[in-house]
């Protein structure tokens, strides 16, 4: 049985609710990676490994989704399996999709933005994902900007990620975050990572060497008001891919997007699938490694956040 908040569409899994009530560390996890980010069964296996990684570093995992018109902070293994088997048939749910799913009793796998909304409602302040969305190339003409960015501007959740995907305009993504006052912290790096590669050639706002340093900045950020923070955590060196290889595959993928007329929410899953195929599966292996790495750091930050005075 789930714990349901009175007059609220939010269900908080009992273990997560108990952790929050006792001010224990909790880490939110997205579900789009389950339904749209990886093929079955790797998606379910990875989701369960990510939850285990959070636990191994001292925090409670809360995988987030929308199920049958209810916002869920914390999923069972069976619910993760259901999302994984359904795959892309599940709605990819950002902020704008949540009220529609709630009203229609729908099911959705939450993006970074959608996860941040539900995490904040539940009182979860730290969230681990793969990479954030950003400003798409050609956005000056298309206005294609991920909803993740405005969410980061006003929702008080720290997002631990491997930067943003190289398929995006990373310079404009960082410019957007700067304009909207979102700090970008580099964890043991001075360079903003580009998802599969460790260095985009662009700088972060400041470098942090320990989870405690990150937690101190988060406390200060939220003492000044609302808003998120990007904690950029490079892909482990053993799994990182060469920038030239990723850039070449990205250009091919972007050309395919244009040729096939792929638009909207379908763009990112298409590009990730293309990259995985063109790199012989290397990008999927790197994706799994970086998500596990981010989960470990997010748990350490969540633990440190409970200790910072």
Active-site residue, 30 included: yes
- For the question of residue 79 being annotated catalytic, the response is no
Given the residues 53, 72, 165, 252, select the one marked as catalytic: 165
- Per-residue b or e along 140-172, where b marks 16 or more CB atoms closer than 10 Å to that residue's CB: eeeebbbbbbebbbebbbbbbbbbbbbbbbbeb
Task: In whole angstroms, give the CA distance from residue 210 to residue 221.
Answer: 17
Pairing assessment for the beta strands 206-208 and 184-187 based on DSSP bridges = parallel
d(CA 16, CA 122): 9
Which of these is catalytic: 2, 30, 79, 209? 30
CA distance 205 to 192: 9
Contacts of 91 (CB under 8 A, 6+ apart): 66, 97, 101, 106, 107, 108, 109
Instruction: Classify 288 as helix, strand or coil.
Output: helix
Per the CB < 8 A criterion, the answer to whether 158 and 301 are in contact is: yes
Q: Kindly list the catalytic residues.
A: 30, 165
């Amino acid at each position: 049985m789930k714990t349901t908040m009175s007059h609220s569409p939010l269900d908080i899994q009992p273990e997560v609710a108990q952790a929050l009530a006792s001010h224990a560390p909790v880490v939110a996890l997205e579900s789009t990676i389950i339904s749209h980010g990886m093929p079955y069964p790797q998606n379910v296996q990875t989701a369960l490994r990510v939850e285990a990684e959070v636990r191994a570093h001292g925090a409670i995992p809360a995988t987030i989704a929308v199920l049958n018109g209810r916002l869920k902070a914390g999923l069972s293994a069976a619910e993760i399996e259901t999302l994984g088997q359904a795959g892309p048939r599940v709605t990819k749910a950002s902020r704008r999709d949540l009220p529609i799913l709630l009203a229609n009793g729908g099911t959705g796998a939450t993006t970074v933005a959608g996860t941040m909304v539900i995490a904040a409602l539940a009182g979860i302040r730290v969230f681990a994902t793969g990479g954030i969305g950003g400003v798409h190339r050609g956005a000056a003409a298309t206005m294609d900007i991920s909803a993740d960015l405005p969410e980061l501007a006003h929702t008080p959740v720290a997002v631990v990620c491997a930067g943003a995907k190289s398929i995006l305009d990373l310079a404009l993504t960082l410019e957007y975050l700067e304009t909207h006052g979102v700090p970008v912290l580099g964890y043991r790096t001075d360079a903003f990572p580009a998802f599969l590669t460790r260095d985009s050639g662009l700088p972060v706002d400041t470098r942090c060497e320990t989870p405690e340093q990150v937690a101190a900045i988060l406390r200060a950020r939220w003492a000044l008001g609302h808003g998120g923070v990007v904690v950029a955590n490079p892909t482990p060196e053993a799994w990182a891919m060469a920038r030239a290889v990723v850039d070449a595959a990205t250009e091919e993928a972007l050309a395919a997007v244009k040729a096939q007329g792929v638009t909207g929410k379908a763009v990112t899953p298409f590009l990730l699938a293309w990259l995985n195929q063109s790199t012989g599966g290397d990008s999927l292996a790197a994706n799994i490694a970086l998500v596990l790495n981010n989960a470990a750091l997010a748990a350490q930050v969540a633990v440190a956040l409970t200790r910072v005075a």
